[in-house]
Structure 1
């Protein structure tokens, strides 16, 4: 079971990283086009603020899933300097992982509620449901929660 979960998490993290990478490239193109249109042509596109914002939000939260999988977010490497006991470091890491899992699930629920609350509203320029932007929160948080579950189970197996 743990092997299947590990494979699933790896595949999800790779997919999220690929989509986020595509989003970063798309964001660069959108912003460059917008700057060109605004300053050279003198006619910015009507979606100049909304579309890059939408791409940025989704890209950031999908990239956070890959960071959670790699355990590379919010890590400054200070714990070994502050806590010398290896067993205390493991305990603190485990407590932190449980708290992060709880936080991700709470944020996913709040993001889901907000996304559905705003699905009937449309954005000004793109005329798409406003909830599409907010839906990045539950999608990203569920992905990060999945990665946390895998980390916790991997720690359990090692202990």
Structure 2
């Protein structure tokens, strides 16, 4: 569980940095638009990409902290043995989804955009870097849920 705490700390700090950069970026955009009179050309695109990373990595962080939205009416009315079985089922389904949709699908997306050499219009950043948040987040979610399954048993 020591590794999980380190990953939580690194991921939490990364999310803080991303959010901080996003706030400064948007403030700069507002300043250049309304004070200077000519909006900055890169800020809109940077804010969009930072929001993607923040949202997707934030989902992994929340999943690791078990703070995600859940409907717990059925488990609360069940015995502790049944609650364990429900948790195992739910965590297993989350692992399958994260692996198939986020890791496999995300890697395919990153690969395709890398091979096609797609770059963002204003920043000229490879879109593969932007989309790399998807498989990374999927791997983090899988790690967290496998760790939760180990804790249950």
State whether TM-score is above 0.5.
yes
**Pick from 30, 33, 42: which aligns with 2:37?**
42
Partners of 2:129 and 2:39 in 1: how far apart?
23
Alignment of 1:61-140 (within 5 A): 61-75=56-70, 77-80=72-75, 83-106=77-100, 107-119=102-114, 120-140=117-137
SS in 1 for 2:38: coil
TM-aligned CA distance change 1:50 to 1:87, over 3 Å? same
Deviation at 1:155, TM superposition (A): 0.8
TM-score normalized by structure 1? 0.86
8 Å CA contact 1:20–1:60 kept in 2: the answer is: no
8 Å CA contact 2:75–2:82 kept in 1: the answer is: no
Unaligned runs of 5+ in 1: 1-5
SS in 2 for 1:74: coil
The number of residue pairs the alignment matches comes to: 150
Unaligned runs of 5+ in 2: none
TM-score normalized by structure 2? 0.89
Deviation at 1:13, TM superposition (A): 1.6
**Pick from 24, 28, 32: which aligns with 1:29?**
24
8 Å CA contact 1:13–1:65 kept in 2: the answer is: no
CA RMSD in angstroms comes to 1.6
**Of 66-75 and 130-139, the range deviating more from structure 2:** 66-75
Deviation at 1:63, TM superposition (A): 2.3
Partners of 1:7 and 1:111 in 2: how far apart?
28
Deviation at 1:102, TM superposition (A): 0.8
